[in-house]
Amino acid sequence: MKIALIRGDGIGVDVADAAMAVVAAALVKSGAPALRLDEIAAGAGCFAETGRDIEPGGEERAGAADAIFLGAIGLPSIRHADGTEISPHLRLRDRFGLYAGVRPVRAYPNAPQRLADPRAAGIDMVILRESTEGLFYSAAAHGRSDIRGDDEVRDTLRITRATTEKLHRFAFGLARKRKARGRPGRVTCVDKANVFASMAFFRKIFDEIAPQFPDIAAAHAYVDAQALNLIRAPWEADVLVMENMFGDILSDLAGGLVGGMGMAACAEIGDTTGLFQPAHGSAPDIIGQDKANPLAAILSGALMLDYLAEKSGDGSHAAAAARIERAVEAGFAADRLRPVEFGGDMGTLAVTAEVLRLVDAGAAAETA
């Protein structure tokens, strides 16, 4: 199967390389064929060199691949004339309809836990962020904002029935899969339906879809109350589904509860295309210093393998994904993964090497 690889900017190059190395090793150990990589230049660096944020034909090649893997895009020092950063990945979301932004949030043993309550060790949720509409609708295609001179700017928040129905069905389907693995089987619609008509519409569609999944509990929460609950009792959350901007904010908040953005894996899935990336940025302050935590990218690689397994029906891809997930779990449990991001002594290369060792060993929870 072919993967469109966009390493992008800053630490994106390093963490993408780490993820591809671990994915390749897991596939070998699972008896699966190697992936074919089609590397595409895109990002702020590409824009600075060529005046284009993605190489000619790059979008078409990305759409033709079986999946897209992205390292990181954007550099604060390189911007459009209106002050916004270079962001071709937003256009890829829009073009390929990548409506389901899946952000797993899980606590690992020996990783930082920001809450003192021992129940924080059980945090295991998914924030499902609609990724093509909402308040990001104006940003997806550069120029949609209504700029009225130097006095006013208006950005449009868009919610459509077609996309929202697919999103909510995806949420309930995801909760059903998680329930089969022992999770509660509950979807919470996070919105601001008490203030905005768009959010009331989002909730209305949720309530129409929920009865189609009688085995899954349905709940509601206003976004401000949900932010409070993520601090007060995040271990109670299962699948939280929400509009784009709300998801952007709450997924970062939740990521902070389990260590930081270096653990924030992400899948963006549409009807025919999936894009996988760590949810962190390009971190220009640590470029070239071997300090980036590659685990978000590595776990995004596991999400990609799960996606390919569903797409192709090849169980060896799912086995490879599980091997990676077990390796990360075992590495933390044995205190063998100590990223610099968490105050540890292991940089990008050392963390990657340890995950590769655990993947090769079968990721048994070793302590030796």
Residue 368 has pLDDT above 80, yes or no: no
Report strand pairing: 152-154 vs 186-191. Answer: unpaired
Q: What are 301-336's pLDDT values in tens digits?
A: 999 999 999 998 889 999 999 999 999 999 999 999
H/E stretch holding 255: helix 244-257
Q: Please, what is the angle between helix 161-180 and helix 197-209, to 10°? A: 50
Per-residue model confidence (pLDDT) at position 140: 63
Answer yes or no: are the C-beta atoms of 106 and 220 closer than 8 Å: no
One DSSP character per residue, 33-74 reads: PPPEEEE--BSHHHHHHHS-SB-TTHHHHHHHSSEEEEEE--
Per-residue model confidence (pLDDT) at position 11: 96
List strand residue ranges (DSSP E) for 228-333, in order.
239-242, 265-269, 274-278
Work out the pLDDT band at 242, boundaries 50, 70, 90: very high
Q: What are 30-53's pLDDT values in tens digits?
A: 999 999 999 999 999 999 999 999
- 3 bridge partner residues: 37, 67
Quote the CA–CA distance of 70 and 59 in Å, as a whole number.
13
168 exposed, middle or buried (CB, 10 Å; 0-12, 13-18, 19+)?
buried
Residue 364 has pLDDT above 60, yes or no: no
Name the token pair of 337. Answer: 């993964």
Answer yes or no: are the C-beta atoms of 99 and 131 closer than 8 Å: yes
Quote the CA–CA distance of 106 and 123 in Å, as a whole number.
5
Which among 26, 35, 70 has a CA at the least distance from the CA of 328?
A: 26
Residue 367 has pLDDT above 50, yes or no: no
Quote the CA–CA distance of 310 and 71 in Å, as a whole number.
23
- 134 bridge partner residues: 158
CA 183 to chain centre: 20
Residue 277 CB coordination number (10 Å): 28
With DSSP H G I counted as helix, E B as strand and the rest as coil, what are the percentages for the chain, rounded to 5?
45, 20, 35
Work out the pLDDT band at 108, boundaries 50, 70, 90: very high
Quote the CA–CA distance of 25 and 355 in Å, as a whole number.
10
- Tell me phi and psi for residue 280, to 5 degrees: -80, 175
Residue 143 has pLDDT above 70, yes or no: no
Catalytic residue numbers read 137, 192, 224, 248, 252
Confidence (pTM): 0.92
Q: What are 181-194's pLDDT values in tens digits?
A: 999 999 999 999 99
Over its C-alpha atoms, the chain yields an Rg (Å, rounded) of: 20
Mean pLDDT value of segment 57-84: 93
CA distances from residue 231 to 84, 119, 180, 184, 296 in whole angstroms, order as listed: 31, 12, 27, 19, 22
* 143-152, 284-293, 314-323: the lowest-pLDDT one: 143-152
Per-residue model confidence (pLDDT) at position 366: 38
Task: Name residues whose C-beta falls within 8 Å of residue 3's C-beta, 6 or more positions apart in sequence.
Answer: 35, 36, 37, 38, 65, 66, 67, 68, 69, 304
DSSP 110: T
Q: What are 312-321's pLDDT values in tens digits?
A: 888 999 999 9
CA distances from residue 93 to 10, 127, 225, 234 in whole angstroms, order as listed: 21, 17, 29, 29
DSSP 269: E
One DSSP character per residue, 171-240 reads: HHHHHHHHHHTTS--EEEEEE-TTT-HHHHHHHHHHHHHGGG-TTSEEEEEEHHHHHHHHHH-GGG--EE
What structural domains does the chain harbor? 1-101+263-368 (3.40.718.10), 113-143+157-257 (3.40.718.10)
Angle at 313 between CA 311 and CA 316, to 5 degrees: 110
Work out the pLDDT band at 365, boundaries 50, 70, 90: very low
